[in-house]
Amino acid sequence: MTQWVENPTGGRDRGPSALLRAWAEILIRPRRFFRTGVAPGDQAPGLVFAAMVVLVEEASRFLVVDLARRGLVSTGPFLYPAIGDFTPGIAVLALLAVIVFVTPATVHLTAALQTLLLLPIAPDRGGVSETVQVMCYAMAPCLLAGLPSPELRVLVTAWGAALYVVGTSVIHDLRIGIAAAVAALPAAIVFGYGFRGFDAALWLLGSAGF
């Protein structure tokens, strides 16, 4: 499940420019991206892509806390990481722990759950590796999820969940409605809880009187 192939057929190119192209393509032409950019066994570019998205998202959360301590911005309605007493070195280690350990573990465990959900309804499904890649690339909008705006966070996490449904439909050869049903739980884990979309949605509902 964690295989990185040396000479994959298809898949994504490596390097910073390839990461930027992938980010733009997944937002603009998701169906085409999933058809051409996901290859069996080629997890490396997808996992690097997810790590970069999480790096920017978590680093922006740390930056918001630092700017809020200086009175330059507000953290809004959210609980942000308590890094006021962290040294720069400890803050970097905390970021590395999230990127190197938490993100890949969450992606692989959630992809395994998705595979179990697909077993009874998708006889022509792709492999776990392709599910991992779909999940990683669907995170593209969540680059901005760390900013202190509940509206923005709801938007980007819902967008990411929608991309995940589209990718699930393409990779596992499912109608979009079935893909939405089978991808709902994994999407809730990654985008609702992982990127805190549910917290933002609940705050918005509460502020609207619900």
* Averaged pLDDT, 123-134: 89
pLDDT in tens, 29-74: 999 999 988 988 888 899 999 999 999 998 888 888 778 878 888 7
More confident residue, 31 or 210: 31
pLDDT of residue 61: 84
pLDDT of residue 210: 81
DSSP string, the chain: ---B-SS-SS-PPPSHHHHHHHHHHHHH-HHHHHHHH--TTB-HHHHHHHHHHHHHHHHHHHHHHHHHHTTSS--TTS-----TT--HHHHHHHHHHIIIIIHHHHHHHHHHHHHHHHTTT-TT---HHHHHHHHHHHTGGGGGTTSS-HHHHHHHHHHHHHHHHHHHHHHTT--HHHHHHHHHHHHIIIIIIIT-HHHHHHHHHHHTT-
pTM of the model: 0.88
User: For the ranges 6-20, 27-41, 102-116, 191-205, which has the lowest average pLDDT?
Assistant: 6-20
